[in-house]
A and B are shown apart, each in its own frame.
Chain A
Amino acid sequence: MAETARAHVTRAWTASEPMVSVRGLKVWFPVASGVLQRTVAHVHAVDGIDLDIMKGETVGLVGESGCGKSTLGRTLIRLLEPTAGSIHFKGEDITKERGERLRARRREMAMIFQDPYSSLDPRQTVGDIVGEPIDIFELAKGKERQDRIYELLHIVGMNPRFADRYPHEFSGGQRQRIGIARALAVDPTFIVCDEPISALDVSIQAQIINLLERLQSKFNLTYLFIAHDLSVVKHISDRVAVMYLGKIVEMAPGGELYRRPRHPYTGSLLSAIPIPDPVLERARERLILQGDVASSVNPPTGCRFRTRCPGAREHCAQAEPPLESFGADHLAACFYPLEAS
């Protein structure tokens, strides 16, 4: 008995299983009000999500501000506490891990932030910023530590001599490289990239995208790539998940999603993204959504997109559409999906 129990616990995770697996994940934030600051409601930031990310894969996560995509990313690597649901990492349940176990877990996961201005400590040198994770996990000391910092800077395309300088001496793109070097310092297997290029100049964005792709193949990394720009996400991702008000409404490989969107929200998102080609852009048929995103404190009943959906019918208010298969690797949650043209 004891034998089998242990065998179960230490059963090796194999790469044919998802590296990250999430079931029924909910992350709610309390809304406090009044003198006593009583909790009067909850922001349903992430509201029931199932997601698998395979080893070496890049899953793109798109959606508009407030849809919960950053909350989901942060919860996956246990920076935020889930309200309900489970998170498995390499086959192990990490939902409730804490203390030393969670600390050890953090060596396997890293995050790259959107704003390279506020995510780097202005009083630390570049070397200390990149070296901090090395110190925390006592990965190297003295000369070895120094060499590792130089190596990391070299990997992200920066001159190792910059180790003695401060973040303010660098441009946005270079700061983002520093942030990437810091993320790589612990040799992670899974990295959450939270809008890593949104704050950068157009001519710099491609440099960082190429760098992230190069690093992925070099170190066999698994990415969750969060962005609001669907063209960037489609470029970098193997599969793309579209989020709306705390839910995944559609998921498919990027090309498939672009050619055959089935959820009306994906369709309108695609038609809203301008293509830098005047002839194509002017000939495009536009599906312009009315109104704003509904509140995530009181999400609409039934389908959450129905308040803006051009094709909403009565049934959409009564029941919530489940994610259903629309062919290989293609899921969408809609009772009246768009035609596959």
Chain B
Amino acid sequence: MTTPLLDVQDLRTVFDTKEGTVKAVDGVSFQLEAGETLGIVGESGCGKSVTALSIMRLQRPGRIVSGKVQLKGRDITKVSDAEMREIRGQEIAMIFQDPMTSMNPVFRTGWQVAEPLLLHQGLTKVKAMARAVGLLGKVGIPAPATRAQDYPHQFSGGMRQRAMIAMGLTTAPQVLIADEPTTALDVTIQAQILDLLRNVNKEFGTATILITHNLGVVAGMCERTIVMYAGKIVESGPTTEVFAHPKHPYTWSLLRSMPRLDDELHQPLNAIEGLPPSLVDLPSGCAFHPRCQFKIERCSRDVPRLNLVGDNQLAACWVTQGGAELKRG
């Protein structure tokens, strides 16, 4: 077996709050292969963003309390801060939801795109700037040489996100983590950015982790999908399988609760009752059981582990692990 590009093992990140310790990421394990597109979906507070930040070691004030993040076999939770800065610049890049707050408003855009090249590849200012202009053109900024002189506020939301992606690509990283890259954008601009990310993946072979709450985005973009709920992975597998035959009641219910553009009949939506749990006061057993329509007695007692259910899908559910099917009751 070859080593995966990125191997996350039993990652646990906690936050200390007045109300108690919040287990934001609670034993997350997954692998990312070179060139692959992986989606992580879940609602706010499910731990998807903290997982990404922990991989980048940007989780502060949270603490990584256990687990490994192996990048090509090397555990990057253990490397020094200086080494981590190199890795961040060169091997893993991250783009964020809101390009307005994640770019520096007082520096010209071109310069911000060029900065990693100066810092990590020792290019001269002129050469770095030329590369930056080239990249801005590649991500679809019109008249890149002129626009590189603009400040971020002179860009529209979609253009800022393009510039962010250019920034992420400067050092040709092997892993690109995109945290809700299109959530702040309008749908037609979202379509442009997703198209760009698809092309980046194809052209540069960059393995992409796409974090989103939008199941439609994952359906169109990702080969594999991970579903998170209350700090844990509840289901993972090939996207087509997860969507066609979900093996966790949360995934199952979520897919049925959304109105779809291609719905023919008007019926009340199958809403998931109740609320996502508070992370300081999790229910006993499976965290989803109070909202689950398939729950059995065991679910409120024991925490289910993520196990193989079916051919290549993992699910943390006593019901499906017991061989039962998820069907409308």
Residues on A facing B (Cβ under 8 Å): 64-65, 171, 173-174, 201-207, 209-210, 213, 228-232, 234-236, 255, 258, 268-282, 284, 286, 288-290, 292-293
Contact = CB atoms under 8 A, between A and B. Distances in A.
Interface string B169-194: 00000000000000000111111101
B260 A202 contact: no
A273 B254 contact: no
Interface of B: 43-44, 156, 158-159, 186-192, 194-195, 213-220, 239-240, 243-244, 253-255, 257-264, 266, 268-273, 275-276, 291
A245 B260 CA distance: 26
A273 B216 contact: yes
A64 B261 contact: no
Contacts of A235: 259, 263, 266, 269
Given A202-B43, A213-B268, A292 B189 contact: yes
B258 A202 contact: yes
Contacts of B258: 202, 205-206, 231, 276
B43 A210 contact: no
B226 to A, nearest CB: 14
A276 B189 CA distance: 18
B302 to A, nearest CB: 23
Complex A-B, nearest 8 residue pairs according to Cβ-Cβ distance, in ascending order: A274-B216, A235-B259, A206-B271, A272-B191, A64-B186, A206-B269, A276-B215, A206-B257
Given A232-B259, A235-B259, A279 B44 contact: no
B186 A277 contact: no
22 contacts: A202-B215, A203-B253, A203-B276, A206-B257, A207-B271, A229-B187, A232-B259, A235-B259, A235-B266, A236-B259, A270-B261, A273-B187, A274-B216, A274-B220, A276-B216, A278-B240, A279-B244, A288-B195, A289-B188, A289-B191, A292-B158, A292-B189
Nearest to A230: B261
Given A203-B272, A235-B263, A284-B220, 14 more contacts: A64-B188, A202-B257, A203-B43, A207-B271, A209-B271, A231-B258, A258-B261, A268-B188, A273-B216, A274-B219, A275-B219, A277-B219, A282-B220, A288-B195
A210 B159 CA distance: 37
Given A64-B187, A272-B190, A286-B195, A203 B254 contact: yes
Contacts of A289: 188, 191-192
A206 B272 contact: yes
A275 B266 contact: no
Nearest to A235: B259
A62 to B, nearest CB: 9
Contacts of A270: 261
B312 to A, nearest CB: 15
Nearest to B182: A274
A329 B28 CA distance: 52
A275 B188 contact: no
A174 to B, nearest CB: 8
B181 to A, nearest CB: 13
Nearest to B196: A288
Contacts of A258: 261-262
B191 A277 contact: no
Nearest to B140: A290
Given A65-B186, A202-B254, A277-B243, A171 B275 contact: yes
A278 B158 contact: no
Contact of B156 (A203, A206, A271, A292): A292
A203 B222 CA distance: 21
Contacts of A277: 219, 243, 260, 262
Contacts of B255: 276
B188 to A, nearest CB: 5
A272 B156 contact: no
Nearest to B253: A203
Contact of B243 (A65, A201, A278): A278
A207 B189 CA distance: 28
A290 to B, nearest CB: 8
Contacts of A275: 216, 219-220, 260-262
A235 B260 CA distance: 8
